[in-house]
Amino acid sequence: MSAVALAALVVERQPCVVLTGAGVSTESGIPDFRSPTGIWADVDPFEVASIHAFKRDPARVWAFYRERIDVLRNAEPNAAHVALAELERRGHVRAVVTQNIDTLHSRAGSEDVVEVHGSIRSAQCLACLWSEPADAVLAQLAESAVPACPHCGGPLKPGVVLFGELLPAGAMERAVQLARGARLMLVVGSSLEVWPVGGLPLEARSFAIVNRGPTALDARAVLRIDAGAGETLAAVVEALG
Ligand SMILES: [Zn+2]
């Protein structure tokens, strides 16, 4: 029933922009960060995923990301990614703004994806800003602990936003612009705890939330569904016929 109500909202309140977080990828076998079984239950993010750690000990940060990139590249899009790509194809979704770095939205067929926390597609040189594709980075990692920039020799940094780094300006600007133009922001699989991205729904004229467990903005949502992303979004597509 709630999926039917969500389908009606998506049709009525166009344009609809989607905002996704870790909960959209857990069904692909990718652990989230903050739950009791999440990644940060075992390791301290400031030791392995902060810009401070990277500047002090890039090999340690790369040891963490090398394993993570491996997990993410071997994961497959799930029913939630597939449903969102289908909704975009049918003209019901304008774009997907995602906190995820796993590229699964693009791999499922979504065309307009704004990756506000970067992605594992590439690594960047902090000195000359060169961007090196993931395949080349992984090839280097097979032989050395820290991949080097082919242009200036400086250490490459994973292409994801580390703790203590600013979000990529262009991506965040576009995300805010999309949110402001949306009559509905559909939040999927995010507890909206990480700012500034967690504040994006407040920029839209209204927002609905699909998430297992409470979120920071539940009280202000027009519709709140406490359920898995895959089953819910597949039901929305089905309700639209
Ligand atoms: Zn460089």
Q: Give tens-digit pLDDT for 71-93.
A: 999 999 999 999 999 999 999 99
- 190 with 21: CB under 8 angstroms? yes
Neighbours of ion ligand 1 (CB under 5 A): 125, 127-128, 130, 149, 151-152, 154
Residue type, 151: H
Using the mean position of ligand 1's atoms as its centre, give its distance from the Cα of residue 179 in Å: 34
Least confident piece of the model among 1-5, 127-131, 150-154, 226-230: 1-5
**List 81, 92, 105, 117, catalytic entry:** 117
pLDDT of residue 111: 98
State residue 25's pLDDT score: 97
**Ligand 1 centroid to 55 CA: how many Å?**
15
Q: How far apart are the first and last CA of the chain?
A: 15
Residue 56 pLDDT? 96
The reported pTM is 0.95
Report the percent of the chain where pLDDT is more than 70. 100
**Residues 49, 58: Cα–Cα separation, whole Å:** 10
* Confidence (pLDDT) at 1: 64
pLDDT at 146 over 90: yes
Distance 134 CA to ligand 1 centre (A): 15
Split at pLDDT 50, 70, 90, the class of 59 is: very high
Asked if the model's pLDDT at residue 165 lies above 90, the reply is yes
87/233 Cα distance (integer angstroms): 9
Residue 92 annotated to the active site = no
Cα(77) to ligand 1 centroid in Å equals 33
Query: How many CB atoms lie under 10 A from the CB of residue 234?
Result: 18
Asked if pLDDT for residue 48 goes beyond 80, the answer is yes
Least confident among 28-32, 127-131, 186-190 = 28-32
